[in-house]
Amino acid sequence: MQVKVDEELVRHIASLSRIKLSDEEVKALVEQFNSILSYFSKIQSESSDLPIPSPMDRLVDLTNVYRCDEPRRSETDFTTLFPNKEGRYIKAPKIV
């Protein structure tokens, strides 16, 4: 199924987009849209012969990389970055 774009359709899309187009621009867009759509139909017709891959088919095996989660103390004292603090706790404004 191939859709043909005409000047009326381009002008309608331009009005919906609130774009002002000259006659030359409309003609150029008609040619460009038809070229794009013909390319899509060509791809669609050629891809109809190909088998549909299952969702689990992959070209490369995927593996997860895990690392051990080891607790450790930070070497930086981040409380020095905050002006409002009480001891080792950071004071923040109340959010309701």
Whether 49 shows a pLDDT value over 80: the answer reads no
Instruction: Tell me the mean pLDDT in the region 13-36.
Output: 95
- In this structure, what CATH number is given to the domain that contains residue 16? 1.10.20.60
**24 in any annotated domain:** yes
* Residue pair 7/26 in contact by the 8 Å Cβ criterion: yes
pTM as predicted:
0.48
pLDDT at 78 (0 to 100) = 72
User: What is the number of domains present in the chain?
Assistant: 1
Residue 38 domain boundaries? 7-47
Whether 20 shows a pLDDT value over 90: the answer reads yes
Instruction: Tell me the mean pLDDT in the region 30-40.
Output: 92
Interaxial angle between packed helices 7-16 and 23-47, expressed in degrees from 0 to 180 and rounded to the nearest 10: 100
Consecutive H or E run containing 89: strand 89-90
- Mean pLDDT over each residue of the chain, to the nearest integer: 83
**82 in any annotated domain:** no
pLDDT at 57 (0 to 100) = 65
**33 in any annotated domain:** yes
